Structure 1
Amino acid sequence: MPKLLCATDLLPKTEAAIDRAGLLAQRLDAQLALLHVVSPVTPEHNIEQALQLAIANLDSRARPPQWRHGPAPQVAVRTGSPARLIREAIDEHRSDLLIVGPHRKRPVRDVLEGTIAEKILSTRQCPLLIVRGKADADYCNVLLAVDISEECGAAVRAAEALVLSPSAQAMAMHVCEPPYQGMMRSAGVASEEVVSYVEHSRREAADEVRNLLRRVSGNHARYGVVICDHHPAMSIRRAIEMYQPDLLVMGTNGIGRMRRALIGSVANQILDAATCDVLIVPRGSVSANNPAG
């Protein structure tokens, strides 16, 4: 049985994340736990009051009439560091998926400390679903940003096991940058030959993507394939604008926070720009105890 964890700050922006968690738990027949963390920066004499209020609010949110998605979830309220306590809850529940709402931007603090999502992704404990849109139906229009690697195959399996319904249609996009295109132009190779070389490279890339999907997908026929030739982050943003997906799926290497702060990973750039929900599957997060594994 899959195990889902939804971390909520009980603000309106995370309501959709709770609803999405409920929808997924109901469809997957999964165990669901809701977690809220009270910040320790609350004045000491108000912490107990804040805890009691949070417990009452979370209990109410997890019961009818506010709860509309099958059996009521487990609920937990803790006080301390949100990132640390979420990581501990993932380990405690052996969670297969963490579901959260959108991040509240704090530019300076985010650069220095990293966001909660970054901290969770860097541990590679489990896939992370960031919910922005309304959660009133299953995902039906899904965009996967793929490369040709086993890690990407794990991301496809995780998406199919955890968030994609059987009826969901998906587009797999891959960025193909032919390695010698610039050199050919500099060497004076005729434009027709360069174009032919690029088109051949794109066809080869499309065949590789289709072969990958045949190997790892339970229903490879549902995927269309599109090949792009721009920078990955730019291509993904353009594809989001073009296809208007309700979910983007991508993998990440989970590199360190300092390197991301200095140069930015593709995943971070997309998280800042995406208007749809995003499922990120960190490298190594899909293991034997995960239903996607």
Structure 2
Amino acid sequence: MASLNRLVAATDLSAPARHAVERAASVARVTGAQLDLVHVTTPAPLQRLRRLAGQIPSDLEQLMLDAPRHALQELADSMAQRHSVATQVHVAHGALLPELQGYTDAAQADLVVLGARGASFMRHMLLGSTAERMVSKTKRPMLVVKQAPHEPYKTVLVPVDFSAHSLRSIRIAQAVAPGASLALLHAYDVPYEGMMEYAGVQADQIQHYRSKARQEALESMQALCEVAGLDPVLTPTVVMHGDPSLLLVQQEQELDCDLIVMGKQGDNTLEDVLLGSVTRYALAQSQCDVLVSV
């Protein structure tokens, strides 16, 4: 099983972003990991104020620069008191993504935690190129928190495609939510099924292909569970035919999951370059938290 030694939670100090910090502290408490809180200040607001005001008194400007550090330290003290976790703080100045990625790399973070919403950059994390660049380029597992954490994760859904990414997703799920139950999901299809229907291939022949694809998927699921050391009695497995994105969100609701853990890459070259379409859909459409493994 993978282990978590150091977590980095990024926050813009807004009330919604506190959910991510609370979840990170909860995971740190359960796993015994160290927690780092990071806030990145960008120069744009201060530059705009200078344009509007002409000149800002040096003591006022210093106060504006110091305020985020004080607020971050207060948040860290609160997390240490509430969750009994070792907490460090870091305030960086500059462009958001390079600063955040630079810190997580230097800290050798085992998990990066971000909020789904916030007052500034957090509100853009799930929509647009900023989010996709962040998740696509990261070399570290990233947890996107959508819900206020009230208790440790209880049910984790892990979509699998039977590639090496699947086993890594299971391992990070076990590390982040050691007390939770895991459910594995695989959506199978028949290659060129739509073209065959268009070409007039008989429905019973296509159904035969589906049956064979399902049997292959069931065997691969059993093999994956054996390699991962999962008890088949305690690990629900769902093998269904259909669109993986739609089935993912459907099973999230059916199984009452509070966390989805999935790889960011697909099984083809295009999705290896870009953020996989199913992962992107889960980030945008799921109700529960999403952990993107690497």
Q: TM above 0.5, one fold?
A: yes
Residue of structure 1 aligned with 2:280, choices 268, 278, 292? 268
Partner in structure 2 of residue 85 of structure 1: 99
Query: Which amino acid letter does the alignment assign opposite residue 30 of structure 1?
Result: A
Preserved CA contact (<8 Å) 1:34 1:74: yes
Mapping of residues 1-293 of structure 1, within 5 Å = 2-44=5-47, 45=56, 48-64=62-78, 67-103=81-117, 104-105=122-123, 111=128, 114-115=129-130, 117-161=131-175, 163-166=176-179, 168-179=180-191, 181-182=193-194, 183=196, 186-189=199-202, 191=204, 194-217=206-229, 221-253=233-265, 265-282=277-294
Partner in structure 2 of residue 290 of structure 1: none
Query: Which amino acid letter does the alignment assign opposite residue 247 of structure 1?
Result: L
Q: SS in structure 1 opposite 2:172? A: helix
Cα distance in 1, alignment partners of residues 235 and 85 from structure 2: 33
Q: In the TM superposition, what is the alpha-carbon distance from 1:93 to its structure 2 partner?
A: 0.7
Q: SS in structure 1 opposite 2:112? A: strand
Q: In the TM superposition, what is the alpha-carbon distance from 1:38 to its structure 2 partner?
A: 1.2
Cα distance in 2, alignment partners of residues 278 and 253 from structure 1: 14
Q: 1:199 to 1:84 in 2, by over 3 A?
A: same
Q: In the TM superposition, what is the alpha-carbon distance from 1:210 to its structure 2 partner?
A: 2.3
Cα distance in 2, alignment partners of residues 164 and 71 from structure 1: 17
Say how many residue pairs are matched. Answer: 272
Q: 1:271 to 1:64 in 2, by over 3 A?
A: closer
Q: SS in structure 1 opposite 2:37? A: strand
Query: Which amino acid letter does the alignment assign opposite residue 275 of structure 1?
Result: Q
Q: SS in structure 2 opposite 1:134? A: coil
Query: Which amino acid letter does the alignment assign opposite residue 175 of structure 1?
Result: A
- In our comparison, the structure showing a higher alpha carbon Rg is 2
Q: In the TM superposition, what is the alpha-carbon distance from 1:18 to its structure 2 partner?
A: 0.8
Query: Which amino acid letter does the alignment assign opposite residue 271 of structure 1?
Result: L
Cα distance in 2, alignment partners of residues 202 and 278 from structure 1: 27
Cα distance in 2, alignment partners of residues 267 and 12 from structure 1: 26
Preserved CA contact (<8 Å) 1:246 1:277: yes
Cα distance in 1, alignment partners of residues 79 and 116 from structure 2: 25
Cα distance in 2, alignment partners of residues 226 and 28 from structure 1: 28
Preserved CA contact (<8 Å) 2:159 2:262: yes
Q: TM-score, normalised by structure 1?
A: 0.82
For structure 1, list consecutive stretches of 5 or more residues without a partner in the other structure: 283-293
Q: 1:181 to 1:66 in 2, by over 3 A?
A: same
Cα distance in 1, alignment partners of residues 285 and 75 from structure 2: 30
For structure 2, list consecutive stretches of 5 or more residues without a partner in the other structure: 48-55
Query: Which amino acid letter does the alignment assign opposite residue 238 of structure 2?
Result: V
Q: SS in structure 2 opposite 1:13? A: coil
Coordinate RMSD, CA, aligned: 2.9
Q: 1:217 to 1:11 in 2, by over 3 A?
A: farther
Q: In the TM superposition, what is the alpha-carbon distance from 1:26 to its structure 2 partner?
A: 1.2
Q: 1:34 to 1:188 in 2, by over 3 A?
A: closer
Q: 1:69 to 1:239 in 2, by over 3 A?
A: same
Q: In the TM superposition, what is the alpha-carbon distance from 1:47 to its structure 2 partner?
A: 5.6
